[in-house]
Chains A and B, each alone.
Chain A
Amino acid sequence: MDRIPILKLRDLLLVSIQVDMHDRLAMQLQDELTARISETGARGVLIDISSLDIVDSFIGRMIANIAAMARVLDAETVVVGMQPAVAITLVELGLNLPGVRTALNVDKGMALLESATPDVEDLPDADAGHPE
């Protein structure tokens, strides 16, 4: 069974979508990602969709939903590496993904996340109030 791996890198979660997204996979990703965010207390989520060349309205909406959910869970979300064809399709579908941060590649996405999330080292007691 296909599964999209969620990697934890320091206080960020990395999701790289390397397979064709189908509806069940997207739902599963939504479940697992939200669970992992609350589990790990991640401050940022980076979703790499550079290998995704086909989207439909459902997948587009799932991407927007996942980003919105992560934000609600206090994790900044960046969607990186969207292909031109995918971007055009989403725009034509009227899915502008408002509020979702985007970056050209993983490198820039990481930089954006690191600048957007407060540095853990600057706030040594940031985890103190976190129930673990």
Chain B
Amino acid sequence: MSAATEAVISRILKTNEADLLDEWLKEQLTAFRAASKISETELRGQSKELLSLLQQATQGGHVTDIQGPSFGRVRDMLGDVSRSRSLHGFSPSETAMFVFSLKRPLFVRIRNELSGDADQLATVTWSATELLDKLGLYTTEVYQKSREEVITRQQQELLELSTPVVKLWDGILALPMIGTLDSARTQIVMESLLQRIVETGADIAIIDITGVPTVDTLTAQHLLKTVTAARLMGADCIISGIRPQIAQTIVHLGVDLGAVITKATLADAFRRALEMTRQRERVLKPRV
């Protein structure tokens, strides 16, 4: 690509800045109803900034090399815009349209400028397309990445949220489990329960599975492991909130919950736990 071609884009961007901005804004407003999610002033501000940054970036040549150093600020700016748009609920195509809608106004200007030279017109149009396509794809990429960050963070939060170990009474812990249990989660549940047993010195732990929609063999086995591990440490476990379907599943699967105390509701389990501690105190008090 000759230096002249590159200079054309930069020159057009510079000389027609105001016109380009107006037409581009009009394009954006018709292409998607941006006004509902973003104010026109803000949109104008963003567009203006991008235009001037583009103009600076294209000045030094390497028009289509958007990974190059001259495009550093353009990339930063586009990154910020697409991140904030992804957070404001814009769709990926709406975010990309921010860049793509610049095509028509820019191409019209290029055609006016080079109307006499078909060869150069084609070359310049091509490089302008390439540039804008790359920038558009870049916004989509950033958009995607920021969405992925959100998902990862939410997964992490969900994991932390879903495993609270609460102290119900002196020496009684409760573990209300919610959602599907997979191996990773059950491992965390098991560890946090055992850790809390050590910290609080609780004798009884109630595992409430009212919020667990389904139980398969693996889940049942994990539950049993948790109960056994707690027993090895010297704490008793009560499982409560088993739904009728789950009870059926457990029996059909042939899982033996024989040694485990099970109660219909958390309240029943709590009553039983209180009885157990009171019983123990009655037995132990006179001697201790």
A residues engaging B (CB < 8 A)?
79-84, 86-88, 90-92, 96-97, 102-105, 108-109, 111-112, 114-115, 119
Contacts and interface: CB of A to CB of B under 8 A. Distances in A.
Interface residues of B, number: 22
B232 A91 contact: yes
A9 to B, nearest CB: 14
Contacts, number: 68
Contacts of B229: 84, 87-88, 90-91
Interface string B165-191: 000000000000000000000000011
A108 B234 contact: yes
Contacts of A112: 284
Contact of A82 (B190, B202, B232): B232
B196 to A, nearest CB: 9
A115 B284 contact: yes
A104 B284 contact: no
Nearest to A105: B201
B190 A88 contact: yes
17 contacts: A81-B233, A81-B234, A83-B198, A84-B194, A84-B229, A86-B232, A87-B229, A90-B232, A91-B232, A96-B232, A97-B232, A102-B233, A103-B234, A104-B235, A108-B203, A111-B284, A114-B287
- The interface centre, meaning the residue of B198, B203, B235 with most chain A CB atoms within 10 A of its CB, is B198
Contact of B191 (A79, A81, A88): A88
A96 B258 CA distance: 14
B4 interface: no
Contact of B197 (A88, A97, A104): A104
A111 B190 CA distance: 27
A83 B191 CA distance: 11
A87 B288 CA distance: 27
A84 B199 CA distance: 11
Contacts of B288: 111, 114
Contact of B283 (A81, A102, A109, A115): A115
B225 interface: yes
Nearest to A80: B234
Nearest to B227: A91
B234 A104 contact: yes
A84 B284 contact: no
Contacts of B190: 88
- Lowest 10 CB-CB distances: which A-B pairs, in order? A84-B194, A87-B229, A103-B234, A102-B234, A104-B234, A87-B232, A111-B284, A91-B229, A82-B233, A91-B225
A71 B186 CA distance: 34
A86 B191 CA distance: 11
A108 B277 CA distance: 12
A115 B287 contact: yes
A84 B195 contact: yes
